[in-house]
Amino acid sequence: MALTIQWLGHACFAIRKDDYTLIIDPYNSDYINGYPKLHVKADKLLISHEHYGHNYREGVELSGRPESDCPFEITAIQAPHEFKMGNWRGFTLMHIIKVDGLKLVHLGDLGTQLDGGQITQLYAPDVAMVCAGSATALPSQEAKRAMDEIMANVIIPMHYRHNGMGGHRLETVEEFAYHFESPDMIHYYDTDTLTVVPGMEPQVAVLKYIGPSGFGDLLVEEKKPEKKGLLTRVLHRK
């Protein structure tokens, strides 16, 4: 089965290989404008940092599969969340995820330019998931510069303001796309899922937010409260 990346909203993605699902940075909809409640299934969960838009563990039901089942090789690199070098909003983890010769990176809420050691570790990813621009992380122009430095092949913007979703301090994906010289690099998809294969065309892959209706078998169905009639209530009292 192909390797796929599905955008679940904000900075949250489901990365799937065969029958194994990894979810990164689930959001708490109580604190993120416009997004519906998140309640999904996964085999493994990654959290970039302890802010409400990224650490909603309650929204992910884990399967309990052993760590030995995980097909991914995962490395985490710490980076400041903002230009004050972590003294204001702390730090974020950037995750490097490798499988079948492919390299994916999720940069969390990267807030400063990358140093030489970080560039070396992140260098030449097949896919990079990056915040499109924020007052509390890198602005869009600097996020684009970071992508140039690590020579990302496919760039998936995340964590941006769109259609009433996302905070007012976030930039739009159009503001991020503006910094790319060739309009032909910007691919607007009519799906929330990208299939990753070796040698993909270099591009900015703007995935379409579909929401829970597109989550398929990832979705945990909410249990409806049991309706109790008079007879049921009488039996329960006995």
Averaged pLDDT, 111-135: 94
**pLDDT grade for 82, boundaries at 50, 70 and 90:** low
| Mean per-residue pLDDT of the chain | 90
For the beta carbon of residue 1, count every other beta carbon within 10 angstroms: 9
pLDDT of residue 234: 44
CA 110/CA 142 separation, integer angstroms = 10
pLDDT of residue 72: 98
**pLDDT grade for 100, boundaries at 50, 70 and 90:** very high
pLDDT of residue 137: 84
**pLDDT grade for 11, boundaries at 50, 70 and 90:** very high
Q: Is the pLDDT of residue 167 over 80?
A: yes
Task: Burial-class residue 36 by CB neighbours within 10 Å (0-12, 13-18, 19+).
Answer: exposed
Give 233's contacts (C-beta < 8 A, 6+ positions apart): none
Averaged pLDDT, 216-223: 87
Position 147, amino acid: M
Averaged pLDDT, 147-175: 94
H-helix or E-strand spanning residue 8? strand 3-9
pLDDT of residue 125: 98
Q: Is the pLDDT of residue 106 over 60?
A: yes
pLDDT of residue 28: 94
- Return the percentage of the chain with pLDDT > 70, whole number: 89
**pLDDT grade for 89, boundaries at 50, 70 and 90:** low
Q: Domains in the chain, ordered, with CATH? A: 3-237 (3.60.15.10)
pTM of the model: 0.90
CA 227/CA 222 separation, integer angstroms = 15
Q: Are strands 102-106 and 186-188 parallel, antiparallel or unpaired?
A: unpaired
pLDDT of residue 2: 85
pLDDT of residue 46: 98
pLDDT tens-digit series, residues 131-159:
999 877 899 999 999 999 999 999 999 99
Find out whether 146 and 107 touch, Cβ atoms under 8 Å. yes
Q: Is the pLDDT of residue 222 over 80?
A: no
Task: Burial-class residue 212 by CB neighbours within 10 Å (0-12, 13-18, 19+).
Answer: middle
pLDDT tens-digit series, residues 14-58:
999 999 999 999 999 998 889 999 999 999 999 998 878 889 999
Find out whether 235 and 226 touch, Cβ atoms under 8 Å. no
